[in-house]
């Protein structure tokens, strides 16, 4: 049986061919609903055929009629999340869809910048196999038996934090004096070109001149400035992971932090990496180390989005209570709706891939789910990895955010 909806043709029987469903938001939302309901057991192909295109034209004509207008209006009556959360989710989608715009124009410079890292990774692997810690070096939270990709990320994270990128605070004046935060300034044309919609002003306590701190977002501007806080660290490091040929995701935390993950072919799960701290595979760093009371941890990458909160918190039951409080205050999502939003985005990302690619991603999903479900093993890894309070940032700033672990 065929069901027409919006500008496409849906098939409500999963045994029939689903070839022809385009990866737009409405049809992807439908597929996500069917997946959550257990009607589908995997993401189908959404590649349209010529026949489906002809059907779509017929449906568009219907929608432009008075009856279609009334149907569209009725859809607007459904419950929605607060606009601020809609905006948050929309902005996070960019980490799935806009990576090429950050990567491709700067590819030559990025490749030259990262060219030394494979050798460092090989040295880490050799050191690990030799059974000693080179120069007193540990391997962060990586378990025994880690692979080349894991060593590559660890080498990249350490280089990025200690040699390449600089933490912004404390912000010093050109005269060498200390500064105090004065508020927001007006972005210049150059700031806007670098993706800086916000500019901080810091007044010198000695000469009283302002020091500007544009919050850049483009790869070119970040590679030029080489300075920032966690947002800038995570944004540029995410692009660098992709440039190294790794599957990577950008992780947003509702308590004002961001980091990245990469897929480890050896460990067979998504692995936490925080370039601010140069730490790898320490997902409970924020909960147990920093003492952070988290609500949402959402990961976005080229293959979709996932709620990864359970991997990053110690007590999921308490976390769910915090999430419900946030939802009631307008700063969170209703649980079923969030699951649908994330799955809809994933369907959009994967719907036009060929079957072989979709099966590989499904296999990765299943491996990740098995690892995430093994709470005991994750806790044992956390105990062995040595978690501590936050290292990046000034002491006053960390204390104000409650991230010292005290």
Of 150, 191, 274, 307, catalytic = 274
Catalytic annotation present for 257: yes
Place of tokens 């920093």: 290
CA distance 314 to 257: 17
For the chain, helix (H) and strand (E) counts, in that order, are 17, 13
Exactly one of 173, 204, 230, 297 is catalytic; which is it?
A: 230
Rounded Cα–Cα distance for residues 193 and 214 (Å): 11
Q: Which of 257, 269, 272, 345 is catalytic?
A: 257
The DSSP line for 181-205 is EEEEEPPPHHHHHTT-S-EEEEEET
> Is 102 labeled as catalytic in the residue annotation?
no
For tokens 């010093």, name the residue.
Answer: 172
Distance CA 391, CA 315 (A): 24
Query: Are residues 239 and 274 in contact, defined by beta-carbon separation less than 8 angstroms?
Result: no
Cα–Cα distance measured from residue 347 to residue 44, given in angstroms and rounded to the nearest whole number: 9
> Do the bridges between strand 257-264 and strand 248-253 make them parallel or antiparallel, or are there none, so unpaired?
antiparallel
Task: Round to whole Å and give the CA distance between 74 and 55.
Answer: 23
| Crossing angle of helices 355-373 and 375-385, rounded to 10° | 70
In degrees to the nearest 10, what's the CA dihedral of 37, 349, 248, 362? 40
3-state secondary structure of 280: strand
Burial class (CB in 10 A: 0-12, 13-18, 19+), 74: exposed
Phi then psi for 245, rounded to 5 degrees?
85, 20
Peptide bond between residue 170 and the one before it cis (omega within 30 degrees of 0) = yes
Q: Which helix (H) or strand (E) holds 321?
A: helix 316-329
Tell me, yes or no, if 33 is annotated catalytic: no
Which residues does the annotation mark as catalytic? 230, 257, 274
């Amino acid at each position: 049986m065929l069901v027409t909806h919006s500008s496409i043709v849906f098939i409500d029987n999963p045994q029939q061919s689903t070839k022809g469903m385009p990866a737009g938001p409405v049809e992807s939302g439908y597929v996500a609903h069917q997946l959550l309901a257990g009607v589908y057991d995997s993401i189908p192909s959404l590649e349209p055929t010529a026949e489906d295109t002809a059907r779509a034209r017929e449906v568009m004509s219907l929608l432009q009629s008075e009856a279609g207008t009334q149907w569209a209006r009725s859809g607007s009556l459904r419950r929605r999340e607060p606009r601020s959360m809609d905006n948050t989710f929309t902005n996070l989608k960019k980490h799935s869809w806009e990576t090429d715009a950050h990567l491709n124009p700067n590819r030559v410079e990025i490749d030259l910048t990262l060219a030394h890292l494979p050798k460092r990774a090989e040295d880490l692997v050799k050191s690990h196999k030799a059974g000693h810690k080179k120069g007193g070096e540990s391997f962060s939270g990586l378990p025994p038996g880690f692979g080349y990709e894991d060593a590559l990320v660890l080498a990249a994270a350490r280089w990025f934090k200690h040699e390449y990128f600089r933490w912004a605070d404390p912000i010093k004046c050109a005269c060498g004096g200390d500064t105090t935060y004065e508020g927001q300034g007006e972005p210049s044309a150059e700031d806007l070109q670098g993706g800086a919609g916000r500019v901080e002003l810091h007044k010198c306590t000695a000469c009283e001149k302002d020091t500007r701190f544009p919050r850049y977002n483009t790869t070119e501007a970040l590679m030029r400035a080489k300075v920032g806080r966690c947002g800038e660290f995570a944004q540029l490091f995410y692009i660098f992971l992709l440039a190294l040929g790794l599957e990577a995701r950008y992780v947003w935390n509702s308590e004002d932090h961001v980091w990245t993950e990469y897929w480890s072919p050896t460990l067979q799960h998504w692995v936490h990496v925080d370039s601010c701290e140069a730490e790898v595979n320490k997902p409970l760093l924020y909960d147990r180390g920093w003492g952070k009371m988290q609500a949402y941890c959402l990961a976005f990458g080229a293959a979709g989005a996932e709620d990864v909160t359970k991997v990053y918190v110690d007590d999921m039951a308490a976390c769910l209570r915090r999430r419900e409080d946030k939802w009631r205050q307008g700063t969170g999502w209703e649980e079923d709706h969030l699951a649908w939003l994330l799955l809809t985005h994933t369907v959009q990302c994967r719907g036009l891939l060929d079957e072989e690619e979709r099966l590989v991603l499904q296999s990765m999903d299943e491996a990740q789910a098995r690892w995430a479900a093994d709470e005991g093993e994750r806790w044992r890894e956390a105990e062995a990895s040595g978690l501590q309070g936050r290292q990046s940032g000034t002491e006053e700033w960390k204390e104000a955010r409650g991230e010292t672990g005290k």
